[in-house]
Amino acid sequence: MSANGVKRDGWQGNLAEELWVHAQASEKEVCGACDINATTLREWRRRFGWDEQRAAAAKRFGGLYALVQNMAAAIGDELKKRPPSDTGAIGALREELNGLLQTAERIRKLNRDIDYKRMALRYSRELTAHLKAEDPEALKVLMPHLKAFTIEIARG
């Protein structure tokens, strides 16, 4: 079921939605991972409103990331105005800029990690449910590996 309540068929639509909306993957990446063509992806994007959902997801962290970038640009401008002899102020501004850039990288990494962890856990659960219904013997064999995989994802 998509976020707006419209049901899609099969794992391909679910995975495509996760990759397009939350992981912000490219069209080529989504089509390759889901074994669908670009026309199908575009149709799903239009029908289920994925582009709007993608924009909203990008804003959650993208707005914060843009704020940090703007602050870094302001510090860069301030650095350009300082005379080379003002080493104390230049050093302080450089430290502040370095901290902002590290924060920006953490925001970008956090956004990616949250999306991929959630997606990996979701599909691990779906695989478990599918095997339980379709091939319980295979589930018994794979269960220790699925548990280890889930624990590894949770640890990050």
Residue 134 is assigned to a structural domain of this protein? yes
Residue 2 is assigned to a structural domain of this protein? no
Token readout for 80 is 């350009």
Residue 5 is assigned to a structural domain of this protein? no
Residue with the bigger pLDDT between 96 and 55: it is: 55
For 67-77, the pLDDT digits (tens) are: 666 677 777 77
* Residue 47 vs residues 13, 27, 42: alpha-carbon distances, Å: 12, 16, 9
Vertex 53: Cα angle to 51 and 58 (nearest 5): 95
Residue 109 is assigned to a structural domain of this protein? yes
Residue 3 is assigned to a structural domain of this protein? no
Asked if pLDDT for residue 7 goes beyond 70, the answer is: no
For 99-111, the pLDDT digits (tens) are: 776 776 666 666 6
Number of domains the chain is built from:
1
Residue 20 is assigned to a structural domain of this protein? yes
Residues 6+ apart with CB under 8 A from 55: none
Residue 1 is assigned to a structural domain of this protein? no
Q: Is residue 8 classed as helix, strand or coil in its secondary structure?
A: coil
DSSP state of 19: I
pTM value > 0.85: no
Q: Which domain holds residue 94?
A: 10-155
- DSSP letters of 78-145? HHHHS-TT-HHHHHHHHHHHHHHHHHHHHHHHHHHHHHHHHHHHHHHHHHHHHHHHH-HHHHHHHHHH
Residue 107 is assigned to a structural domain of this protein? yes
